[in-house]
Amino acid sequence: AIQMTQSPSSLSASVGDRITITCRASQYIRHDLDWYRQKPGKTPELLIYAASTLHSGVPPRFSGSAFATEFNLTISSLQPDDFASYYCLQTYAFPRAFGQGTRVHI
């Protein structure tokens, strides 16, 4: 099964900061990777699909990029709503796999 290694597991930041979260796949997955944000007590929300395509209604401060088996989620200017947990999800093969998650906190 494909494994996703996400880093960092936790990140301290401030409003306005630029942050980057990384997921590495254990094998080639094309660009079949989604990014989700999960606010406390809520279900996950899709931010980006196909590694770099912004989901409808998602603010442009979110962006995704891919380099071989390494995938990045960048938030250009953190907003209060962004203090949450973030997960990548590989959609290349079954079984699917989430990264371990990144908690972004103040």
The residues of the shown chain that bind other proteins, judged by CB under 8 A, are 1, 36, 38, 43-44, 46, 56, 85, 87, 89, 91, 94-101
Q: How far is the CB of 100 from other proteins (least distance, A)?
A: 5
Which secondary-structure segment (H or E) carries 85? strand 85-90
Distance, C-alpha 102 to centroid of its chain: 8
Nearer to other proteins, 78 or 88 (CB): 88
State in angstroms the smallest separation of the CB of 66 from other proteins. Answer: 20
Contacts of 56 (CB under 8 A, 6+ apart): none
Respond yes or no on whether the N-terminal peptide bond of residue 8 is cis (omega within 30° of 0): yes
**At residue 80, what are phi and psi to the nearest 5 degrees?**
-55, -30
Closest approach, Cβ 49 to other proteins, in A, equals: 9
In terms of CB distance, is 36 or 66 closer to other proteins? 36
